Amino acid sequence: MGSRLRSSGRNLLEIIYKEENKVILDALHERSYRKRHLLFMPYHKEDLVCIVKTGKLRMYMGLEGKELSLSMLGPGDIFSTHSRAYVEALEDTTILACPVFKFFKAAMERQEFMLPLLMSLGDILTGALSIIERLYFHDIDKRVAAFFYEEALLRGENSTDGMRLHVGLTVDNIAKIVGSSRQTVSSLISAMEKNGIMKKLARGEYLITDMEELRLTALPCAE
Amino acid sequence: MGSRLRSSGRNLLEIIYKEENKVILDALHERSYRKRHLLFMPYHKEDLVCIVKTGKLRMYMGLEGKELSLSMLGPGDIFSTHSRAYVEALEDTTILACPVFKFFKAAMERQEFMLPLLMSLGDILTGALSIIERLYFHDIDKRVAAFFYEEALLRGENSTDGMRLHVGLTVDNIAKIVGSSRQTVSSLISAMEKNGIMKKLARGEYLITDMEELRLTALPCAE
DNA sequence: TCACAATCGTCGGCTGGACGACAGAAATAG
DNA sequence: CTATTTCTGTCGTCCAGCCGACGATTGTGA
């Protein structure tokens, strides 16, 4: 998901497991959590930098029952606890955590690590700007279409009757990602089926029957 | 403006002008622009890091006549051109610019600079998350009240009849900052006057007559 | 100083989309 | 396997706030 707050890549994990970058790995401590565990609340008092080792996390903001998913984090992704976001485990997960300043000191000694780290931070900021842009400038029909279009580009599989897409998310989950209500997203998916663009096969499974029409619907939200 | 995309401080300027950090200053090139000049368009082809030396810039996103101000940048603030934002000069401005990787190399040699740089990036990301939160979770009346409340905390001046506040922005400018239309912000200001909370003295000048009521109106948007 | 541009307050119409509700279907847990 | 929980599609009501329009006021530049 290109518009999400995450750095894209396993670079960070590969780098810290190199022998010459041992100082960084030594600064990090493993923590494991079970599925559904709420790892961090907003303004967590420990000011940590964390790297996901295995598993999957969801970072989101919430207020009065309403939620906005900021990102789905996987292995190699980095995040900090000094923010107003919740972090929950979507599956059993292991992270590598370190107090911020200790992390900085270690990172400062390894240029090989520092550059991808900065690039990761840059990616996260780009993702935040993308969320802002979408929420402010684009209506929800564009945002939903863009969501599916981008998912299809990333993980769609061609088949005889169209492009199969295993999203692995419920309609409610998708709604929290695109910043809308479940009911609205549901009816938009229904409309796309009526328009011959996409068909819901089962929970989390879709068939995109007209990729070009989906792209046009998503414009200019997805480009 | 606490919720804006800017790092708060002159640290970066002070640091790069120290003799021992000459390598960083040598990497930066001065560029000057007149008031109203559009410095950078979205996806500017030069991938630059810039630090404001003097003057004032506005960074904003725009689409089809609609704009959202992301931040007001002043001396010591840092930004990059690799983004989907426009950058315009609000007054005559001088910036120090450098290609990203060259900047990184120089910064990597000076730990004294690197830490405040990372903290600046952290501040910018915090600001982005704050914008997301406000746009998504709070109605416009809260956002407007929060805007004035925070401005008052920063630069309000006590007087006999209340707190004088020189914002220096038109209603239209404020609307672009809080993410709304001029008409809506105007009518909200009018309502606050009717409710005895704040009074508009002149363009960009306000008198806050009930700071506590303003704070309550702004909750939970401003905390 | 004057002409013009920018700013502004106000009104009313319109719309995007949230959301409660409900019945049915699918998945999960014991 | 069964009971329970989660998910879902659909409908209809409601409302936050956008936006065109217009006349008045203020600020700027020559």
In this complex, the answer to whether residue A181 has its CB under 7 A from any atom of chain C, a nucleic strand, is: yes
Nearest chain B residue (CA) to A117: B118
Task: Please list the alpha-helical segments (H only) found in chain B.
Answer: 11-16, 22-27, 100-108, 111-137, 140-155, 171-178, 182-194, 211-218
Chain C bases under 7 Å from protein CB?
6-12, 16-21, 26-27
Contacts of A8 (CB under 8 A, 6+ apart): A123
Q: Give chain B residues 180-219 with Cβ within 7 A of strand C.
A: 182-183, 186-187, 189-190, 200, 203-204
Provide the pLDDT for residue B162. 92
pLDDT digits (tens, 9 = 90+) for B32-74: 998 888 999 888 888 999 999 998 999 999 998 899 999 999 9
Q: Give chain A residues 71-110 with Cβ within 7 A of strand C.
A: none
Distance CA B46, CA B212 (A): 47
CB contact under 8 A, B115 and A104: yes
Which residues partner with A205 through β-bridges? Answer: A166, A202
**What are A51's two structure tokens?**
């790297």
Give me the residues of chain B with pLDDT under 50, please: 1-2
ipTM higher than 0.90? yes
Q: Does A119 touch chain B (CB under 8 A)?
A: no
CA of A183 to C1' of C26 (A): 18
Distances in Å between the Cα of B169 and the Cα atoms of A103, B90, B176, B205 are 41, 11, 10, 8
Provide the pLDDT for residue A201. 93
**What are B51's two structure tokens?**
């630090």
* Distance between B197 CA and the closest CA of chain A, angstroms: 26
Nearest chain B residue (CA) to A126: B83
Provide the pLDDT for residue A2. 44
In this complex, the answer to whether residue A92 has its CB under 7 A from any atom of chain D, a nucleic strand, is: no
Backbone angles phi, psi at A55, to 5 degrees: 100, -165
Q: Nearest nucleotide to B138 by CA–C1' distance?
A: D16
In this complex, the answer to whether residue B150 has its CB under 7 A from any atom of chain D, a nucleic strand, is: no
In this complex, the answer to whether residue A168 has its CB under 7 A from any atom of chain D, a nucleic strand, is: no
Q: Does B133 touch chain A (CB under 8 A)?
A: yes
In this complex, the answer to whether residue B141 has its CB under 7 A from any atom of chain D, a nucleic strand, is: yes
* Distance between A146 CA and the closest CA of chain B, angstroms: 17
For residues B135 and B178, the answer to whether their CB atoms sit within 8 Å is: no
β-bridge pairing A156-159 and A162-166: antiparallel
Nearest chain A residue (CA) to B137: A63
Q: Which domains does chain B show, CATH number per domain?
A: 11-128 (2.60.120.10), 140-218 (1.10.10.10)
Rounded mean pLDDT for each run of 10 residues along chain A, 223 residues in total: 57 87 91 90 88 92 92 92 89 92 90 88 92 96 96 93 93 96 96 95 94 94 82
3-class DSSP assignment, residue B26: helix
